[in-house]
Amino acid sequence: MVIKYNKTASFDVDAQKGFTPLCPDELPVPDGDKIASALNRQAAFAKFRVGSKDWHCKQALWLADDKNPQFSPIKGRNVDIRWNSHCIGGTKGAELLDGLPHPADYDFFVWKGMEPDMHPYGACFHDLDGRLSTGVIEFLHGNGVDTVIVGGLATDYCVKTTAMQLKRAGFNVVVNLEACRGISIDTIDAAISDMTKEGIVVLKNLNDLKVEK
Ligand code: VGL
């Protein structure tokens, strides 16, 4: 596959400590803390680097508790299931992985899931219906980007949803598995199959990707 450097963006989706074994009480994704160097290599293929963070609040309605375990359903327009507390704004879990740039050094950055009754997965829309843009699609279109390479956490939730949103917005989308980790093998496999059906190119690594400058 050949891509054009000037028309490519690299997307670091939720590459945060709250999704790694560094924060075992949050949503630790196995080896989630090992992807920073792969994300940095991926960024070298692209003129633009964009990123996202979950930035939740401690009053969130979707928090699991003793009576309502993780994964149990919760009613509401912009929530679906309960999750253990993770990525609370200002805490260690909300920090980007060591080795990644500061958010201020990305070309565009999204903070999402800040409202107590909203828990989006994709980084392109604040709501679950895909109506309220975070602005990243407009940033990419406005800069003439046609291809987005995606990595981050977790493959089976926020990476998958972000990749699908970008594909539906008209971009060529490459998911770089070397720069992703997921929550469970079954949901990772299902995510890869859903993304492939959608026309997303899912690669083990970027070794065979050719860039034209
Ligand atoms: C995520 C589950 C819950 C993710 C976020 O970033 O993939 N997964 N919240």
CA of 18 relative to ligand 1 center, distance in Å: 10
**pLDDT of 16:** 98
Per-residue pLDDT, 67: 97
Tokens of 23: 């924060």
- Ordered structural domains, the chain, with CATH: 2-53+97-108+122-212 (3.40.50.850)
Would you say 157 and 87 are in contact if contact means Cβ atoms under 8 Å apart? Answer: no
- Residue 141, CB half-sphere, CA atoms under 13 Å: how many? 10
Which of 35, 55, 83, 126 to mutate to test ligand 1, by most ligand atoms within 8 A of the CB atom?
83
19 contacts 27 by C-beta, under 8 angstroms: yes
Q: Where are the beta strands (DSSP E) in the chain?
A: 2-4, 8-13, 48-54, 108-112, 147-153, 172-181, 201-203, 210-212
Total residues belonging to the chain: 213
* Residue owning the nearest CA to atom 6 of ligand 1: 158
At 73-95, the pLDDT tens digits run 999 999 999 999 999 999 999 99
Give the span between the Cα atoms of 157 and 175, in whole angstroms.
Answer: 13
What is the rounded average pLDDT for all residues in the chain?
A: 98
Q: Write the DSSP symbol of residue 210.
A: E
Cα of 121 from ligand 1 centre, angstroms = 6
Average pLDDT over residues 6-29: 98
Q: How confident is the model at residue 211 (pLDDT cuts 50, 70, 90)?
A: very high
Which of the 8 DSSP states describes residue 66? S
User: What are φ and ψ of residue 92, in 5° steps?
Assistant: -55, -40
Give backbone dihedrals phi and psi of 177, rounded to 5 degrees, phi first: -60, -25
Of 22, 12, 19, 14, residue with least CA distance to 183: 19
